[in-house]
Amino acid sequence: MRTETPQTIRLSEYRPSDYLIDRVDLDIHLDPTATRVRAMLALRPNPAGTPGAPLVLDGDELQLESLALDGKPLMQGDYTCAPDKLTIAQPPQDPFSLTIETRIDPTANTKLMGLYRSNGVYCTQCEAEGFRRITYFLDRPDVMAVYTTRIEANRAEAPVLLGNGNPVASGELPGGRHFAVWDDPHPKPSYLFALVGGDLGSVTRAFVTMSGRKVDLAVHVERGKESRADYALDALERSMRWDEKVFGREYDLDVFNIVAVSDFNMGAMENKGLNIFNDKYVLASQETATDSDFAHIEAIIAHEYFHNWTGNRITCRDWFQLCLKEGLTVFRDQEFSSDERSRGVERINAVRTLRARQFTEDSGPLAHPVRPREYREINNFYTATVYEKGAEIIRMLKTLLGEAAFKAGMDLYFSRHDNQAATIEDFLTCFRDASGRDLTQFALWYEQAGTPRVAVSGHYDADARRYRLDFAQSTPPTPGQAVKQPVVIPIALGLVGPNGEDVGGEAQGLETDGVFALSRASDSLTFENVSAPPIPSLLRGFSAPVRLSLDLDDAALLTLVRHDSDAFNRWQAAQSVATRLMTRPDRPGDSRGADALAKALDGFLAEEAEGDPAFAALMLALPPETEIAQEIGADVDPDAIHAARTALKIHLAETLAPRLATLRAQLASSRPYSPDAGSAGRRALRNIALDLLASCDPAIRPADEAEAMTAAQYDEADNMTDRLGALNVAIHAPGIGEALRDRLLADFRTRFTEEPLVLDKWFALQASVAEPGTLARVQELMRDTAFSLNNPNRVRALIGAFAMNNPTQFNRADGAGYHFVAEQVLTLDTRNPQLAARLLTAFNTWRVLEPGRRAKARAALEHIAARDGLSRDVADIVQRTLA
Ligand code: PHE
Ligand code: ZN
């Protein structure tokens, strides 16, 4: 089978469906290898479609058993049928029903799309186009129907049977079988359909909505792991309360079920009333989950719940509008986490993710607009751009319109488009109508790919007591978009005096809350009555997803570190100095730059570390190697970057060591473990302190001292954050000898043999070691009994971590890293194309590498491209990456 260049779907070619489906009645007989699905569809011609058009239903690897129209079996000549398509040439032009019987094999379904089995549990995944793997259907989000689902199964195999909506009936059947009937009164697109059947345990809680309706909440997990679902259940309740309070959104069914499964391609899925989760984002206990696991669980539980309004009640007209639900829902979950935790810390973490994933994507061959104009495989567009940049657009909208108008726009959106499949235009029109503001230029954020650059320079006129900022914006070309227009960039700013004092200054054209909206290619802003030359603090809170360049010297940046009133910019200033030191290192023998940074951080720690340890931990973390590579931008040598970063880290560690040692002791907790953000912050600071202490030259701090500290933290840990923190240091830090490293790795492996999610951490850690032996180690670990190519979490932990989290070893100069990952992509492609395509995106930076590595990466990509029979997922990514 030769790989065909897949067909391109274009936004400009959108047409309404020729038929609509109002009702779907499903009867599903679960069986491990021969599940029978009977679907009864109530259809009618769409007034907006082409009269008399043929009815063409989507399928994917389906086997048709029988077909009837208005109850009468259809004859051979009345329809044509293939695994991917069912066509009725001349359907009735009045309402009619179709009864379709298909047979599917959930055990053989390794793509994890449609109905499959995970550890024996039947579950479904239908977004984006998985429903067509269950029955023939108009599998597109603008076809919305009400569903009833009858599920029948062997009681011993699947005592728990769950569907969308409310449970309406259940009972026993002969032969050890039983059934349940679920009714979902809310019209929905097929991608939100779900069912689950299995032997699951659960934790439950009653919730009363703001209008007094009672809802039964439940989280279902593998039997025996119930207690690990408590945190998720609690996060669900808090999310529901928050959405009522902040967005005025109430839940709309009698039950809300969450099910955790161990084989899942993504994080989780917002199916109506029946969210299905990768168990990594549900299960948590003190011993097995890190603080960042807890934070992710909280965020993803919230995210999927918030989709009930932004995604489900109001869905997308077509898949080009994916950011309508995803960007908005990410924004909502970020706001939730900010309210539940620390706003400043949450913002910094969100920006770190954005820069690592979205900025990288936006500067490479896969760059695309937040609303793409075309795709060949929609699965490849669940990207950082659609999600994270999509969320930044909503945040900018709020910044530009202000709190009140933003809220009015959201309310209008909820009331005007409830029960509809909407577009970005519909969404923006609500904000225009609510605020009276013209959003035409703002809409460009959805259309233009690439990260805008904003260059700023400041000019002080002492005689006139005037300060002027000159701004210029430009967006680099991206695939298919050579020329860019200026966008509206909200720049939150303030002026800081040389000693941190307020230097006054009023500017025309500044919105009252200190936001300058840069909308032209270049513009200036003038402040009057400025008493001394100020230091500008720009893009406070990272008010726009742009790259800022500003000609501030290190001394000015270090003043911001100590004195800016904006937490984000304090952190950013330290990051900027560090980035500068790593891209333009001090000359040999001259370490003044690094000394100044170390001194500023030391002063900061002395005064503030104990008060806000989470923030302090972020201040101590150097920018990741990928970010430095982006800053360099061309002819990148990952080994040189790693060396520069390690050198700076050691330098900082040596200056800060005395203070860090004291802090570690002060922060040691005697209180019982709690996953709350405050306690997590203390652990984060202790862990980074340990990491730095273990990086010191033995001449400064004896290595056996570092080893003793690391071993003690590991052995005495009562929680996963501390234990994994110590293991991480043991495996990466130069000051730790092989003996300790091997002992801890072996201990961790035995201690958690029965814990797949913890073993994932063990695999990932070893795959990310920046040493030449790592590739061989990864290959050896693939033969570990706990490794499996069938489990996406395991593949991501070992192969994914190597490809995405280990810049020096994936980018080995001899090309062996590329070759290895390419082979894994090809192997995975035959069983799980989505997973394979995702792994392949590790190559997205290949063009900025130095020529030797670039040629080797290209060869690996061409090796993949040359393979016959590639999936559409992998063919699409490899072709765009090479283009
Ligand atoms: N819609 C899911 C979310 O963002 C993501 C997802 C997409 C899950 C496709 C599975 C398949 O919440
Ligand atoms: Zn989502």
Instruction: Give residue-wise pLDDT tens across range 358-403.
Output: 999 999 999 999 999 999 999 999 999 999 999 999 999 999 999 9
pLDDT (0 to 100) of residue 506: 85
The closest of 511, 393, 385, 533 to 458, measured between CA atoms, is 533
- Of all helices (H) and strands (E), which one includes residue 834? helix 833-840
The minimum-distance atom of ligand 1 relative to the CA of 130 is: 11
Q: Using an 8 Å Cβ cutoff, are 270 and 312 in contact?
A: yes
pLDDT of 6 reads 75
Cβ–Cβ < 8 Å for 596, 558: yes
Residue-level pLDDT at 2: 59
Structure tokens at 824: 């894994």
* Ligand 2 center to 773 CA (angstroms): 38
Answer yes or no: are the C-beta atoms of 304 and 275 closer than 8 Å: yes
- Write down the pLDDT at residue 503: 82
Q: Which amino acid is at 274?
A: L
Question: What gap in Å lies between CA 361 and CA 841, rounded to an integer?
Answer: 9
Secondary structure class of 408 (helix, strand, coil): helix
Contact 509, 493 (CB under 8 A): no
Q: Cα–Cα distance between 298 and 282 in angstroms, integer?
A: 9
Tell me how far apart the alpha carbons of residues 361 and 780 are, in angstroms, rounded to a whole number: 31
- Decide if 43 contacts 68 (C-beta within 8 A): no
**What local confidence, expressed as pLDDT, does residue 187 receive?**
98
Q: How far apart are CA 679 and CA 755, in angstroms?
A: 25
Q: Is the pTM of the predicted complex or chain greater than 0.85?
A: yes
* pLDDT by 10-residue block (mean), the chain, 883 residues: 78 98 99 98 98 98 98 96 98 98 98 98 99 99 99 98 99 98 99 99 98 99 98 99 98 99 98 99 98 98 99 99 99 98 98 98 98 98 98 98 98 99 99 98 98 98 96 98 98 92 81 90 96 96 97 95 96 97 84 96 97 98 97 97 96 96 91 96 98 90 91 98 98 92 98 98 98 98 98 98 98 98 98 98 98 98 98 98 97
> Which residue's CA is the nearest one to ligand 1's atom 8?
269
Phi and psi of 285, rounded to 5°? -145, 160
Tell me how many degrees the CA angle 340-342-345 measures, rounded to the nearest 5. Answer: 135
- Measured from the Cβ of residue 831, the count of other Cβ atoms closer than 10 Å reads 14
453-461 and 547-550 beta bridge pairing = parallel
CA-nearest residue, atom 6 of ligand 1: 269
Cβ-contact 131, 114 below 8 angstroms: yes
The preferred substitution site among 266, 378, 383 for testing ligand 1, maximizing ligand atoms within 8 Å of CB, is: 266
**Dist CA 762 CA 535 (whole Å):** 46
Q: Edge-to-edge, what's the strand order for the sheet holding 547-550?
A: 504-507, 522-530, 466-474, 453-461, 547-550
Nearest CA to ligand 1 atom 5: 269
Q: How many angstroms is it from 163 CA to the middle of ligand 2?
A: 20
* Contact assessment for residue 161 and residue 178, using Cβ atoms and an 8 Å cutoff: yes
Q: What are phi and psi of 677, to 5 degrees?
A: -60, -35
Which of 159, 143, 139 has the alpha carbon at shortest distance from 151? 159
Protein residue with least CA distance to atom 12, ligand 1: 269
Pair 263, 792: CB distance under 8 Å = yes
| Whether residue 716 lies in the annotated active site | no
Q: Does residue 330 have its Cβ closer than 6 Å to ligand 1?
A: no
Packing angle, helices 677-693 and 638-667, rounded to 10: 120
Q: Which of the following is catalytic: 298, 304, 326, 346?
A: 304
**Exposed e or buried b per residue across 156-178, where buried means at least 16 C-beta atoms within 10 angstroms of its C-beta:** ebbebbbbbbebeeeeeeeeebb
Q: Which of 579, 575, 578, 577 is nearest to 567 (CA)?
A: 575
Cβ within 8 Å of residue 123, ≥6 positions away: 115, 116, 117, 194, 195, 196, 197, 198, 259, 261, 276
Who's near 658: CB < 8 A, 6+ residues apart? none
3-state DSSP percent of the chain in helix, strand and coil, to 5: 45, 25, 35
Lookup: tokens for 872: 């559409």
Identify which of 471, 474, 497 has the alpha carbon closest to the alpha carbon of residue 484.
474
For residue 348, the CA-to-ligand 1 centroid distance in Å is 24
Cα 326 to averaged position of ligand 2 atoms, centre (Å): 5
Q: Could you give the 3-state DSSP secondary structure of residue 250?
A: coil
Is residue 64 within a helix (H) or strand (E), and if so which, with residue range? strand 63-69
Instruction: Say which amino acid occupies 569.
Output: N
CA separation, residue 515 to residues 348, 492, 531, 790, 824 (Å): 19, 4, 21, 50, 48
Contacts 24+ apart (CB under 8 A), 734-737: 734/646, 734/650, 734/694, 734/695, 735/694, 735/695, 735/696, 735/698, 735/701, 735/703, 735/706, 735/707, 736/694, 736/703, 736/706, 736/707, 736/710, 737/703, 737/707
Mutate to test the pocket of ligand 1, among 118, 123, 127 (most ligand atoms within 8 A of CB): 127
Ligand that lies nearest to the alpha carbon of residue 268, given by its number in the listed order? 1
Any ligand 1 atom below 6 A from CB of 266: yes
Which residue from 270, 301, 303 has its CB within 8 A of the most atoms of ligand 1, so it is best to mutate? 270
Residue bearing the CA closest to ligand 1, atom 7: 127
Neighbours of 214 (CB within 10 A): 9
Ligand with the closest atom to the CA of 126: 1
Q: How far is the CA of 387 from the centre of ligand 2 (A)?
A: 8
Kindly report the protein residue whose alpha carbon is nearest to atom 9 of ligand 1: 127
Per-residue burial over 586-625, b if 16 or more Cβ lie within 10 Å, else e, is eeeeebebbebbbebbbebbeeebeebbbbbbbbbbbbbb
Report the alpha-carbon distance of residue 314 to residue 345 in Å, rounded: 31
Q: Which ligand does the CA of 131 lie closest to? A: 1
